Structure 1
Amino acid sequence: MENSLLSKFAFWQTKHDRVDLGVYLNAAAVTFYNRDGDPSFSLPLSGDDWSGVFQALTDKIPAPNLQLVLSEDFYQLLVVDKPMVQPEEMHQALIWSIKDMVSEPVESLHLDYFESPESTNNKVTVVAVNKAMLQALVKAADKHQVTIAGISIEEMAISNYGAGDKLAHMVLCHKPGSELLLTVVKQGQLYMQRRIRGFSQLDRVSSEDLQLNVADNLSLELQRSMDYFESQLRQAPVASIALLMGGERQMLAQLLSRNFDQAVEVIACEQVQDKLAQWALAELERQTEEPA
């Protein structure tokens, strides 16, 4: 990922003596994590009223410095062959690579990309975000004296799980109504990611249905991903499986643990967005600690 245009999909990074907050944005609300004071709180988002959100935020916390994580509501991920061009030519090459894969004009999109640290297939993952949305967000932040330290996405935020560990971990992240996000992370880097269809209502599945077939069906998907991680990326098996979700997560952890040698743990949180906002702040703190 160090070879990408922006290693963490951050459009800018600035150091400030301000109140640092991790932020998770979805289409309905914005969740903030503050290591001091109230650990997390949310503000409703009405359409694209970023100004209203930032006004309410600065009424509560003046001069905030934000590390943002966008939900999947705001971006697309597209896997393409890596263009064989110089770094300064990559952006233009990616435009041609994705122009037939998106439903809106490529001129209206901001593009970035990342790749696995151990990629063997010469592929890159392109992140496409609507430019107008970003411009409105930045304009509103500037209006209310809100500093944006960086912008990331869900997959990258999860790479902060076990960032200090030399072992790889599989993390399953599920938000109500969304497809299940599977990632494998190691030492603060994202090695692989995929959305698994068929589990969008996982938080509503009863213990009985989990025991009947859901856990076993999910286990098959996890095994496929483990096989890919070990054979295609030539990595040692993941050390653990972590669940970030609501619903009958403790029961699911017990059922999955019967099918795998790895420990299966539940990541403690009241709501998934709280943890994603917390990881956003962890990303900001990691960037601050890294040498310039």
Structure 2
Amino acid sequence: MEKSFIDRFAFWQQKMFPINIGVYVCTDKLWVYAPAQDTKIEQWQSFELKSENWSAGFSAVAKSFPNAQLQLILASGLYQLLLTDKPNVDVAELPQALLWSVKDMVTLPVPQIHLDYFEPPLASNKINVVVVDKAKLISMVQAIHEQNLQLIGISIEELATTNLFDDNQARLVVSHNPGQELLLTVVKQGQLYMQRRVRGFTHLDKALAEELAYGMADNLSLEIQRSMDYFESQLRQDPVSSIELLTDGAVDVLATLISENFNQSVNVIDKSCVGARMAQLAFAECSRGAE
């Protein structure tokens, strides 16, 4: 039934304003963080994602957060991050030049490549290039818009870690999304100074304390040391002030074991789980984008 004439002018009714939420997009799940608002406390929710059915996934998000504005962080399985020489061309020509620079580094045919890039904070002839499947990205964005959700922006795991701290200290962050390769980053002053993926730790979150003590923690310490050596010798930076662990599982045991190998403090980043924390870091990108 149509609303009555007077109902259309019910100015006393509360208006619903869209909220910003952070979404961590994994291959099998959407993790969502929503800040506290009015009478609602901050929320972390996860939504199942089957066979990258974006319509069903974001439909579930829209039911809990109607008309929301989304900032996405893509999990590593949804993109490739490449370091390549920076072409000597004008800024306007850079995307096309980078396309031909990276085409042989990826398995996607050129017409299926969508790319973006960001430069290291230190002067260099290198540039970081993010490559995604264009068709997959379009399908995701269309699914968001079909649910009357708004897309603020899309970022990646490596850049998400720069939202963990807001001081001038250089910190080495060890982050691990269950089932994925380990990610080591060094962040300082909200910028990404270095990043590398390390194989062999796919199931770090499932490792028992005994497994960590008998080799795994020492192997991880070796990879941490390699990253620290690169940061100091190749990038000519002072040593990192701390090592920060963002991983699920027996992380407190892992921190204790790793701390035996370094002078720096080894800290466990506060979280309920990695997926939820990454969604919160996605939300933090909203504020930074508005600066």
Q: Please give the TM-score of this superposition, normalised by the length of structure 2.
A: 0.90
Which has more radius of gyration?
Answer: 2
Contact 1:69/1:276 (8 A) holds in 2 = yes
Q: Kindly state the Cα deviation for residue 204 of structure 1 after the two structures are TM-superposed.
A: 2.1
Tell me which residue corresponds to 1:145.
148
1:34 equivalent in alignment to 2:37: no
Residue number in structure 1 paired with 2:208: 206
Partner-residue secondary structure (3-state), 2:270: coil
Q: Which amino acid aligns with 1:123?
A: K
Does residue 100 (structure 1) correspond to residue 107 (structure 2)? The answer is no
Q: Does 1:62 align with 2:62?
A: no
Alpha-carbon distance between aligned partners in 1 of 2:243 and 2:123, rounded to the nearest angstrom: 22
In the other structure, the counterpart of 1:73 is: 77
Distance 2:146 2:250 in 1: 43
Q: Does 1:118 align with 2:122?
A: yes
Aligned equivalent of 2:13? none
TM superposition shift of 1:139: 1.4
Cα distance in 1 for partners of 2:220, 2:58 equals 40
Partner of 1:255: 257
- Opposite residue 148 of structure 1, the aligned amino acid is L
Q: Deviations over 1:113-161 (max 9, x none)?
A: 12220144x2212110111111111212222110000000011111101
Report the alpha carbon displacement of residue 195 of structure 1 after superposing the two structures with TM. 0.6
Q: Tell me, what secondary structure is at the counterpart of 1:159?
A: helix
Q: CA–CA distance in 1 between the matches of 2:199 and 2:280?
A: 26
Shift of 1:212: 2.1
Distance 2:128 2:215 in 1: 32
| TM-score normalized with structure 1 length | 0.89
Name the SS for the 2:211 alignment partner. Answer: helix
Distance across 2 between alignment mates of 1:105 and 1:23: 28
Task: Report the alpha carbon displacement of residue 38 of structure 1 after superposing the two structures with TM.
Answer: 4.7
What secondary structure does 1:101 align onto?
Answer: coil
- Residue of 200, 214, 217 corresponding to 1:215: 217
* 1:135 equivalent in structure 2: 138
Deviation at 1:55, TM superposition (A): 2.1
Q: Which residue of 1 aligns with 2:6?
A: none
Q: How many residues align?
A: 271
Q: Match of 1:19, as an amino acid?
A: I
Match of 1:3 in 2: none
